Chain A
Amino acid sequence: MNIFRLAGDMTHLMSVLVLLLKIHTIKSCAGISLKTQELYALVFATRYLDIFTDFISVYNTIMKLIFLGSSFSIVWYMRRHKLVRRSYDKEQDTFRHFFLVLPCLLLALVMNEKFTFKEVMWAFSLYLEAVAILPQLVLLQRTKNIDNLTGQYVFLLGAYRAFYIFNWIYRYFTEPHYVHWITWISGLVQTLLYADFFYYYFNSWKNNVKLHLPA
């Protein structure tokens, strides 16, 4: 474990807690894309298949349980909770996430470390995580006023993967044969997708104006 990875995991944890806080306390999911939340639940479900078979560390297992539990409970809140679901913007959140899942699955069948179910699922989860934010970014473009919690949620979600890139660089230089192209390329693509959001988020913070993305 290195400081970059710990920072990444804590930032990722904070993004999930910010979202749960928003949904649980003010009972609103305005501006949040259910599609992205469902994609994240699928990412964790396919990545943590080995949660009960390969024990890495207590930390690893606890964090996996937190990410699985929070992502599925957020989807449940947005689908089932009578108050929260009322604030869900169904008309605007129309990104057909099936068109993200299928290419990632096909790519995982071709590009994987080993053609086994677990390895293909693991590669699929990495490709899917890279693009899972797209429905959320599209929704942000459409909904003019982005409230602070939603902006912070997306920012933290992007920042966590950026920390992971520093973690991979660090591990590449400190651990022999630490080379994982699938993880690196997916993580880089994922972070680049946030680039324009970061640009507008930083500017809105610098000029102390409300965050809004150009149409």
Chain B
Amino acid sequence: EECIHVKDEL
């Protein structure tokens, strides 16, 4: 399934 990437960068 389409993975929304975790926004772990600033």
Chain B's interface size range is: under 10
A selection of 12 A-B contacts at a CB cut-off of 8 Å is: A5-B9, A9-B10, A47-B7, A50-B7, A54-B7, A56-B6, A56-B7, A57-B8, A60-B8, A119-B4, A164-B9, A183-B9
B-to-A contact residues, CB < 8 Å:
2-10
Nearest CB of chain A from residue B9's CB, rounded to whole Å: 7
Chain A residues lying within 8 Å of B10, measured Cβ to Cβ, are: 9, 12, 60, 63-64, 67
Query: Does residue A113 face the partner (Cβ distance < 8 Å to B)?
Result: yes
Chain A residues lying within 8 Å of B4, measured Cβ to Cβ, are: 113-114, 119
Nearest CB of chain A from residue B5's CB, rounded to whole Å: 6
Please give 20 more A-B residue pairs, beta carbons under 8 A apart, in addition to A5-B9, A60-B8: A9-B10, A12-B10, A47-B7, A50-B7, A54-B6, A54-B7, A56-B6, A56-B7, A56-B8, A60-B10, A64-B10, A67-B10, A113-B4, A113-B5, A114-B4, A122-B7, A164-B9, A167-B9, A177-B3, A180-B5
Question: How many chain A residues touch B (Cβ–Cβ < 8 Å)?
Answer: 21
